[in-house]
Amino acid sequence: NLAVERKVSASTQNQALNALIFLYKKVLKIPLDNFDFKKARIGKRLPVVLSRDEIHKVLSNLQGEFHLMASILYGGGLRLSECLNLRVADIDFGLNEIIVRGGKGDNDRRTILPNLIVHQLNRQVEKARLRLEENMLLIGFKGASIPEALERKYPNAPKELAWQYIFPARKPARDPRSGRLKQHYRHESFLQKAVKNAVRKSQITKNASCHTFRHSFATHLLEDGYDIRTVQELLGHKDVRSTMIYTHVLSINKYNIQSPLDTWDSRS
């Protein structure tokens, strides 16, 4: 019914099937041993990738924090959530590396800190320091939001510069769980809207988003000859097969392949 009449996607069909299996097995306690379930096949979609020229155009239409955040996404291959969660201690200026903590699968990794944004990032750290000084004057301010277990172990950490967010929200807010006044990071929509506008101004018709910077990072590294395992590490992929998809979007021009239509005249 879902597939034929309502024509929902394969992922929606599988979600409905999983819900039914859970209902019968866990709630109704009815075994399903005699039933043969076949999940809908989810087709593979190639990631949207921008050319280097298109990346330059989009970045040129972003300023300030927007430009820095997008540069980190492309320059280091970060997910948007990973960029927003960056703290001062996660920037290793000595080794020119960005430490991504608690990425997908709750794994930490190191990736590239582009030389081109070091100065801009230093200024952003200084802004975070000034923001902390301002917040410390607020009555009831408890510092940056950090995991509860970590705060119990290091009670002073939330008010230390190392734990402050690189991209803090405009002002502190009450933590919905504890009710305490905390400094949180920027909302995802902060950059999403800016990138959408920058893509439109750049007259790019591709369905590009913040995640497109990460796709482009991986593809351009492979185009430059870096091996798949290196790219896998930088992206934080557990399985190299997740990284292999970028080999399918490498520029055809890399192999100097000519269309038969373009060679038509030379053969006639």
Q: What is the pLDDT of residues 150-165, one digit of tens each?
A: 899 999 999 999 999 9
Tens of pLDDT, residue by residue over 53-92, are 999 999 999 999 999 999 999 999 999 999 999 999 999 9
**Residue 255 binned pLDDT confidence (cut-offs 50, 70, 90):** low
Enzyme catalytic residues: 79, 104, 211, 214, 237, 246
Q: Given pLDDT bands bounded at 50, 70 and 90, which one contains residue 119?
A: very high
pLDDT at residue 20, as a whole number: 77
What are the residue ranges of CATH 1.10.443.10 in the chain? 46-258
In this predicted structure, what is the pLDDT of residue 136?
96
Q: How many angstroms separate the CA atoms of 184 and 187, rounded? A: 9
- With contact defined as beta carbons under 8 Å apart, do 172 and 159 qualify? no
Is CATH 1.25.40.80 the classification given to domain 46-258? no
Q: Can you give the pLDDT at residue 3?
A: 58
Q: What sign does the CA torsion over 202, 203, 209, 213 have?
A: negative
pLDDT tens for 19-50 read: 877 777 778 787 777 667 677 666 567 899 99
Is 183 in contact with 143 (CB distance < 8 Å)?
A: yes
Query: In the chain, what percentage of residues exceed pLDDT 90?
Result: 68
Report pLDDT digits (tens) over 92-102: 999 999 999 97
Contact between residue 198 and residue 58 where contact means Cβ atoms under 8 Å apart = yes
CB 157, CB 151: distance < 8 Å: yes
Mean pLDDT estimate for the chain: 89
DSSP helix/strand/coil, 162: helix
Residue 135: the pLDDT is 96
